[in-house]
Amino acid sequence: MTTLLQNDQFRLAARPVGLPKPSDWNAVNEPVRAIADGEIVVKTLYLSLDPAMRGWMNEGKSYIRPVAIGEVMRAGGVGVVVASKSPKFAVGDHVSGGIGVQTYWVGAADDKTANFYRIDPRVAPLTTWLNTLGMPGMTAYFGLLDVGQPKAGETVVVSGAAGAVGQTVGQVARHLGCRVVGIAGGKDKCDFVVNELGFDACIDYKNGDVREGLKQHCPNGVDVYFDNVGGDILDTVLTRINMKARIVICGAISQYNNTTPVKGPANYLSLLVNRARMEGIVVFDYAPRYKDGVAALAKWMQEGSFKSREDVVKGFDNFPDALLMLFEGKNFGKLVLQVAEA
């Protein structure tokens, strides 16, 4: 390797109030240092842009420590090993892990934070390893199965249906024999999840009434609701749940950039009336079982009965703007930033 490699980075400059602004980032550049025994250099190919990243920018206790001011922004990604002094990875290996928003990652091959693992581009395209076969897919697969516990014939509703997690939730539920109803923003996304992903129906919250849509498309009520959005949509679904319904709290994208307090679900007493349950999930808890999830989803994909849709934005420098697409619902499928040609 050469030490002439330049590592471009976005570091957190300030904690955002509301939507992240350009001034919340510091674009910096440092040379890639020489590596010691046990270390590797990973060249970033694709970065995963996720709603959860907004939460990591806040101070305060959460399921993971906040990104510090001045620190490289945390992000998952896939890359290729371009230098290695570790037996764990060889030059040319494709890996997935916590690369961060930078063009190169340098450190110990067994670093616990980055937690790199080898991925196989012959099984699925690299971007799919950030979507269906990555964190969003694992979130969807284990959150739905373990917490949602859907049974064949039940009705499963998922918000953010065309998004990274939602598309997998709906397709897994379809494979289980459930009636699957998505909620998404815009006709294109709704058409996609019905026509391409095989959902039974999709409610366009931007151009229709969610309550009426649920009445129409969930004639037998809602048994499982997988919530990625929170806010008014969660509140509306709460009015349509069945006895013993399960609500999986996976995220609340509608609330992440609030400058006012989070809107709690005013209809939460529907849980009492219906003896229902609302339960939160964090994907990291399922790490020991990821390989099972990947195997199941890859099998369906190889059989042609499961699709993975990514929305790829090109150019490392576009990171700040690309991230905002998530909160404006502009991405169509899992949002990925292409940093370099594979």
Minimal distance in Å, beta carbon 264 to its own copies? Answer: 3
* Alpha carbon of residue 134 to chain centroid: 8
Which range touches its own copies (CB under 8 A), out of 61-69, 75-83, 186-194, 329-337? Answer: 61-69
Distances (CA, A) of 158 to 179, 193, 233: 11, 11, 10
Each residue 249-288 as x (binds its own copies by CB under 8 A) or -, in order, gives: xxxx--x-----xxxxxxxxxxxxxxxxxxxxxx--x---
Q: Closest CB to its own copies among 276 and 301?
A: 276
Q: Closest CB to its own copies among 9 and 236?
A: 236
Task: Report which DSSP code applies to 50.
Answer: -
Q: Closest CB to its own copies among 268 and 300?
A: 268
Binding of residue 51 to its own copies (CB under 8 A): no
Q: Closest CB to its own copies among 151 and 275?
A: 275
Task: Return the amino acid letter for 2.
Answer: T
Task: Return the amino acid letter for 289.
Answer: R
Binding of residue 145 to its own copies (CB under 8 A): no
Alpha-carbon radius of gyration of the chain:
20
Minimal distance in Å, beta carbon 100 to its own copies? Answer: 22
**Who contacts 303 (Cβ-Cβ below 8 Å, separation ≥6)?**
none
Binding of residue 61 to its own copies (CB under 8 A): yes
3-class state of residue 193 by DSSP: helix
Q: Closest CB to its own copies among 86 and 274?
A: 274
133 contacts 71 by C-beta, under 8 angstroms:
no
Q: Is 328 exposed, middle or buried (0-12, 13-18, 19+ CB in 10 A)?
A: exposed
Minimal distance in Å, beta carbon 212 to its own copies? Answer: 17
Site residues (CB under 8 A) for its own copies? 61-63, 230, 235, 249-252, 255, 261-282, 285
